[in-house]
Amino acid sequence: MAKFTYAEKIMIPISEYTWKEFKNYCLETQFHPGTIFRGQSNCEWHLDPSYTRFIDGSNFRKYFEIILPEAKRLVASYIDYDFDLTSQDDQNRLIGLLQHHGFPTPLLDWTNSPYVAAYFAFIDIAYREPESDYIAVWLFNAEYSVRFIEEKLCECPFHIILPDHRFNKRLLAQDGLFTLSLSPLSLDEELSPIMDELDHPGLLQKVIIPVEESRFALKDLSLMGIHAGNLFEGIDGVCKRLKDHFFMESETALSPRGKRLINAALSRLSGGKKNIKRSK
Protein backbone atom coordinates (compact mmCIF):
# COMPACT_ATOMS: atom_id res chain seq x y z
CA MET A 1 0.00 0.00 0.00
CA ALA A 2 1.45 3.36 -1.01
CA LYS A 3 2.03 5.87 1.75
CA PHE A 4 2.23 9.63 1.37
CA THR A 5 4.07 12.04 3.65
CA TYR A 6 6.35 15.07 3.57
CA ALA A 7 10.08 15.29 4.13
CA GLU A 8 10.93 16.64 7.56
CA LYS A 9 11.55 20.42 7.47
CA ILE A 10 11.65 20.41 3.66
CA MET A 11 8.16 20.31 2.19
CA ILE A 12 8.76 17.77 -0.56
CA PRO A 13 5.92 15.27 -1.18
CA ILE A 14 7.10 11.70 -0.54
CA SER A 15 5.30 8.52 -1.64
CA GLU A 16 6.29 5.04 -0.42
CA TYR A 17 5.80 2.19 -2.89
CA THR A 18 6.75 -1.43 -3.28
CA TRP A 19 8.56 -2.17 -6.55
CA LYS A 20 5.35 -3.54 -8.06
CA GLU A 21 3.42 -0.45 -6.97
CA PHE A 22 6.10 1.79 -8.42
CA LYS A 23 5.84 0.07 -11.80
CA ASN A 24 2.06 0.41 -11.72
CA TYR A 25 2.43 4.07 -10.76
CA CYS A 26 4.71 4.68 -13.75
CA LEU A 27 2.33 2.89 -16.11
CA GLU A 28 -0.79 4.64 -14.85
CA THR A 29 0.57 8.17 -14.37
CA GLN A 30 0.44 10.68 -17.19
CA PHE A 31 3.65 12.51 -16.35
CA HIS A 32 3.76 16.16 -17.34
CA PRO A 33 5.95 16.69 -20.46
CA GLY A 34 9.46 17.55 -19.32
CA THR A 35 9.32 15.49 -16.12
CA ILE A 36 12.76 14.05 -15.36
CA PHE A 37 13.92 11.44 -12.84
CA ARG A 38 16.92 10.81 -10.61
CA GLY A 39 17.70 7.69 -8.57
CA GLN A 40 19.62 7.74 -5.28
CA SER A 41 20.54 4.72 -3.17
CA ASN A 42 19.93 6.58 0.10
CA CYS A 43 16.51 8.18 0.53
CA GLU A 44 17.93 10.65 3.06
CA TRP A 45 20.33 12.29 0.63
CA HIS A 46 19.57 15.76 -0.67
CA LEU A 47 19.93 16.79 -4.30
CA ASP A 48 23.50 18.02 -3.92
CA PRO A 49 25.92 18.21 -6.88
CA SER A 50 29.19 16.36 -6.41
CA TYR A 51 31.44 19.41 -6.16
CA THR A 52 29.77 20.57 -2.94
CA ARG A 53 31.30 17.54 -1.20
CA PHE A 54 34.78 18.98 -1.79
CA ILE A 55 34.46 22.77 -1.83
CA ASP A 56 32.05 25.27 -0.33
CA GLY A 57 28.98 25.29 -2.54
CA SER A 58 28.94 29.09 -2.43
CA ASN A 59 32.52 29.37 -3.74
CA PHE A 60 31.51 29.57 -7.40
CA ARG A 61 34.29 31.98 -8.34
CA LYS A 62 37.03 29.50 -7.41
CA TYR A 63 35.37 26.76 -9.45
CA PHE A 64 34.72 28.77 -12.61
CA GLU A 65 37.79 31.03 -12.55
CA ILE A 66 40.47 28.62 -11.31
CA ILE A 67 39.40 24.98 -11.42
CA LEU A 68 37.53 24.94 -14.75
CA PRO A 69 40.27 26.68 -16.81
CA GLU A 70 42.86 24.26 -15.41
CA ALA A 71 40.61 21.31 -16.25
CA LYS A 72 40.19 22.68 -19.78
CA ARG A 73 43.97 22.97 -20.19
CA LEU A 74 44.59 19.36 -19.21
CA VAL A 75 41.60 17.92 -21.09
CA ALA A 76 42.81 19.62 -24.30
CA SER A 77 45.55 17.00 -24.60
CA TYR A 78 42.98 14.23 -25.00
CA ILE A 79 40.14 15.72 -27.03
CA ASP A 80 40.11 17.45 -30.40
CA TYR A 81 37.96 20.39 -29.38
CA ASP A 82 38.84 23.85 -28.10
CA PHE A 83 36.36 24.79 -25.40
CA ASP A 84 35.66 28.52 -25.30
CA LEU A 85 34.90 29.25 -21.65
CA THR A 86 33.42 32.65 -22.55
CA SER A 87 30.64 30.72 -24.33
CA GLN A 88 27.92 29.38 -22.04
CA ASP A 89 27.30 26.45 -24.39
CA ASP A 90 30.98 25.47 -24.44
CA GLN A 91 31.24 25.89 -20.69
CA ASN A 92 28.29 23.52 -20.28
CA ARG A 93 29.88 21.05 -22.72
CA LEU A 94 33.10 20.99 -20.72
CA ILE A 95 31.32 20.60 -17.38
CA GLY A 96 29.22 17.78 -18.85
CA LEU A 97 32.37 16.05 -20.12
CA LEU A 98 34.01 16.36 -16.70
CA GLN A 99 30.87 14.99 -15.03
CA HIS A 100 30.95 12.03 -17.42
CA HIS A 101 34.47 11.16 -16.26
CA GLY A 102 33.79 11.47 -12.53
CA PHE A 103 35.12 14.97 -11.88
CA PRO A 104 33.21 17.03 -9.27
CA THR A 105 30.87 19.51 -10.96
CA PRO A 106 27.80 21.64 -10.12
CA LEU A 107 25.70 19.31 -12.29
CA LEU A 108 23.14 16.70 -11.23
CA ASP A 109 22.48 13.68 -13.47
CA TRP A 110 18.86 13.04 -14.47
CA THR A 111 17.10 10.82 -16.98
CA ASN A 112 13.82 10.93 -18.87
CA SER A 113 13.11 7.33 -17.74
CA PRO A 114 11.85 6.48 -14.23
CA TYR A 115 13.12 2.92 -14.74
CA VAL A 116 16.66 4.02 -15.58
CA ALA A 117 16.58 6.21 -12.47
CA ALA A 118 15.47 3.21 -10.38
CA TYR A 119 18.26 1.10 -11.89
CA PHE A 120 20.96 3.52 -10.74
CA ALA A 121 19.45 3.72 -7.26
CA PHE A 122 19.32 -0.05 -6.83
CA ILE A 123 22.62 -0.95 -8.52
CA ASP A 124 24.45 1.39 -6.17
CA ILE A 125 23.65 -0.94 -3.24
CA ALA A 126 24.24 -4.18 -5.14
CA TYR A 127 27.88 -4.33 -4.01
CA ARG A 128 27.80 -2.57 -0.65
CA GLU A 129 25.80 -2.22 2.54
CA PRO A 130 22.67 -0.06 2.20
CA GLU A 131 22.89 3.12 4.26
CA SER A 132 19.15 3.60 4.64
CA ASP A 133 15.95 1.54 4.57
CA TYR A 134 14.82 2.93 1.21
CA ILE A 135 16.17 4.01 -2.15
CA ALA A 136 14.73 7.17 -3.69
CA VAL A 137 13.53 8.12 -7.15
CA TRP A 138 13.06 11.86 -7.54
CA LEU A 139 10.47 13.22 -9.99
CA PHE A 140 11.12 16.75 -11.16
CA ASN A 141 8.77 18.69 -13.42
CA ALA A 142 11.79 20.57 -14.71
CA GLU A 143 10.68 22.29 -17.92
CA TYR A 144 7.42 23.49 -16.42
CA SER A 145 9.25 24.57 -13.26
CA VAL A 146 11.59 26.84 -15.21
CA ARG A 147 8.71 28.57 -17.01
CA PHE A 148 6.50 28.73 -13.91
CA ILE A 149 9.20 30.06 -11.57
CA GLU A 150 10.52 32.61 -14.08
CA GLU A 151 6.98 33.83 -14.70
CA LYS A 152 6.29 34.25 -10.98
CA LEU A 153 9.70 35.21 -9.60
CA CYS A 154 11.55 36.47 -12.72
CA GLU A 155 14.58 34.31 -11.91
CA CYS A 156 15.03 30.54 -11.67
CA PRO A 157 17.74 29.06 -9.37
CA PHE A 158 18.64 26.23 -11.76
CA HIS A 159 19.10 25.50 -15.46
CA ILE A 160 18.43 22.41 -17.58
CA ILE A 161 21.49 21.30 -19.54
CA LEU A 162 21.05 18.98 -22.52
CA PRO A 163 24.24 16.96 -23.08
CA ASP A 164 26.32 17.17 -26.24
CA HIS A 165 26.43 13.51 -27.26
CA ARG A 166 29.69 14.02 -29.15
CA PHE A 167 31.38 14.07 -25.76
CA ASN A 168 29.01 11.86 -23.80
CA LYS A 169 27.54 9.00 -25.83
CA ARG A 170 26.66 7.20 -22.61
CA LEU A 171 23.91 9.69 -21.82
CA LEU A 172 22.27 8.92 -25.15
CA ALA A 173 21.74 5.31 -24.02
CA GLN A 174 20.66 6.46 -20.56
CA ASP A 175 18.30 9.12 -21.98
CA GLY A 176 20.13 11.48 -19.66
CA LEU A 177 20.44 15.20 -19.08
CA PHE A 178 21.65 17.55 -16.35
CA THR A 179 20.48 20.30 -14.08
CA LEU A 180 22.91 23.06 -13.16
CA SER A 181 22.42 24.97 -9.93
CA LEU A 182 24.67 27.73 -8.64
CA SER A 183 23.03 27.94 -5.25
CA PRO A 184 24.85 26.91 -2.04
CA LEU A 185 21.66 25.03 -1.14
CA SER A 186 20.70 21.61 -2.47
CA LEU A 187 18.10 21.67 -5.23
CA ASP A 188 15.37 20.33 -2.93
CA GLU A 189 16.21 22.91 -0.26
CA GLU A 190 16.14 25.62 -2.93
CA LEU A 191 12.81 24.55 -4.41
CA SER A 192 10.93 23.77 -1.19
CA PRO A 193 10.22 27.38 -0.12
CA ILE A 194 9.50 28.33 -3.74
CA MET A 195 6.89 25.57 -4.03
CA ASP A 196 5.43 26.68 -0.72
CA GLU A 197 5.38 30.36 -1.71
CA LEU A 198 3.83 29.65 -5.10
CA ASP A 199 1.46 27.00 -3.67
CA HIS A 200 2.67 24.46 -6.20
CA PRO A 201 3.91 21.38 -4.25
CA GLY A 202 4.06 19.01 -7.22
CA LEU A 203 7.08 20.52 -8.99
CA LEU A 204 9.45 18.16 -7.14
CA GLN A 205 8.44 14.82 -5.60
CA LYS A 206 10.18 11.80 -4.15
CA VAL A 207 9.24 8.12 -4.31
CA ILE A 208 10.89 5.73 -1.85
CA ILE A 209 11.14 1.94 -2.28
CA PRO A 210 12.45 -0.55 0.33
CA VAL A 211 16.03 -1.68 -0.28
CA GLU A 212 14.93 -5.29 0.34
CA GLU A 213 13.37 -5.21 -3.13
CA SER A 214 16.67 -4.47 -4.87
CA ARG A 215 17.39 -7.97 -6.24
CA PHE A 216 13.88 -8.43 -7.58
CA ALA A 217 13.84 -4.92 -9.05
CA LEU A 218 17.22 -5.33 -10.77
CA LYS A 219 16.17 -8.67 -12.26
CA ASP A 220 12.92 -7.11 -13.46
CA LEU A 221 14.77 -4.13 -14.94
CA SER A 222 17.21 -6.46 -16.70
CA LEU A 223 14.28 -8.22 -18.38
CA MET A 224 13.17 -4.77 -19.60
CA GLY A 225 16.60 -4.28 -21.18
CA ILE A 226 17.71 -1.84 -18.50
CA HIS A 227 21.10 -3.16 -17.47
CA ALA A 228 24.74 -2.11 -17.66
CA GLY A 229 25.27 -3.71 -21.07
CA ASN A 230 22.77 -1.29 -22.61
CA LEU A 231 23.40 1.76 -20.41
CA PHE A 232 27.19 1.93 -20.81
CA GLU A 233 28.88 1.92 -24.18
CA GLY A 234 31.64 -0.37 -25.40
CA ILE A 235 33.80 -2.69 -23.33
CA ASP A 236 32.94 -0.74 -20.20
CA GLY A 237 29.30 -1.78 -20.56
CA VAL A 238 30.21 -5.38 -21.37
CA CYS A 239 32.40 -5.68 -18.27
CA LYS A 240 29.83 -4.07 -16.00
CA ARG A 241 27.17 -6.43 -17.36
CA LEU A 242 29.39 -9.48 -16.79
CA LYS A 243 30.26 -8.26 -13.30
CA ASP A 244 26.56 -7.94 -12.42
CA HIS A 245 25.82 -11.38 -13.87
CA PHE A 246 28.62 -13.32 -12.18
CA PHE A 247 29.62 -11.37 -9.07
CA MET A 248 26.56 -9.55 -7.76
CA GLU A 249 25.73 -10.97 -4.35
CA SER A 250 22.81 -13.34 -4.57
CA GLU A 251 21.09 -12.53 -1.31
CA THR A 252 18.50 -9.79 -0.95
CA ALA A 253 19.81 -6.50 0.41
CA LEU A 254 18.96 -6.12 4.07
CA SER A 255 18.11 -2.65 5.26
CA PRO A 256 19.60 -1.14 8.43
CA ARG A 257 16.15 -1.41 10.03
CA GLY A 258 15.90 -5.10 9.08
CA LYS A 259 19.31 -5.82 10.58
CA ARG A 260 18.38 -4.08 13.81
CA LEU A 261 15.22 -6.18 14.13
CA ILE A 262 17.05 -9.45 13.43
CA ASN A 263 19.91 -8.59 15.78
CA ALA A 264 17.42 -7.73 18.53
CA ALA A 265 15.59 -11.05 18.02
CA LEU A 266 18.84 -13.05 18.04
CA SER A 267 20.00 -11.21 21.12
CA ARG A 268 16.80 -12.11 22.96
CA LEU A 269 17.06 -15.76 21.88
CA SER A 270 20.72 -16.16 22.78
CA GLY A 271 20.87 -13.89 25.78
CA GLY A 272 23.79 -12.13 24.16
CA LYS A 273 24.52 -9.76 21.35
CA LYS A 274 24.84 -11.09 17.82
CA ASN A 275 25.31 -8.95 14.79
CA ILE A 276 24.03 -9.80 11.34
CA LYS A 277 26.49 -8.76 8.68
CA ARG A 278 26.26 -9.11 4.95
CA SER A 279 28.32 -12.05 3.73
CA LYS A 280 31.43 -11.19 1.76
Is residue 265 pLDDT above 80, yes or no? no
Residue 136 located in a structural domain: yes
Angle, helix 214-223 to helix 114-123, in steps of 10 degrees: 130
Residue 98 located in a structural domain: no
Do residues 180 and 95 make contact, with C-beta atoms less than 8 angstroms apart?
A: yes
Between 274 and 135, name the one with better pLDDT. Answer: 135
Is residue 274 pLDDT above 60, yes or no? no
* pLDDT, mean of residues 147-155: 76
Is residue 116 pLDDT above 70, yes or no? yes
Residue 138 is which amino acid?
W
How high does pLDDT run on average in the chain?
86
Residue 189 located in a structural domain: yes
pLDDT for res 54 = 81
Is residue 154 pLDDT above 80, yes or no? no
Using DSSP, state whether 217 is helix, strand or coil.
helix
**Which residue segment(s) compose the domain that 222 sits in?**
3-49+106-248
* Percent of the chain at pLDDT exceeding 90: 54
Residue 6 pLDDT level (bands cut at 50, 70, 90)? very low
Identify the DSSP state of 43.
T
Residue 236 located in a structural domain: yes
Interatomic CA distance for residues 275 and 278, integer angstroms: 10
Residue 224 located in a structural domain: yes
Between 261 and 7, name the one with better pLDDT. Answer: 261
pTM to 2 decimal places: 0.86
The tens digit of pLDDT for each residue in 65-104 reads: 999 999 999 999 898 899 999 999 999 999 999 998 899 9
Do residues 192 and 198 make contact, with C-beta atoms less than 8 angstroms apart?
A: no
Most distant CA pair in the chain, distance: 68
Is residue 260 pLDDT above 70, yes or no? yes
The candidate with the shortest Cα–Cα distance to 203, out of 151, 146, 257, is: 146
Domain count across the chain: 1
Strands (E), 151-212: 158-161, 176-181, 204-210
Q: Residue 148, Cα to own-chain centre: how many angstroms?
A: 24
The β-bridge relationship of strands 158-161 and 176-181 is antiparallel
The candidate with the shortest Cα–Cα distance to 251, out of 130, 103, 99, is: 130
pLDDT for res 182 = 80
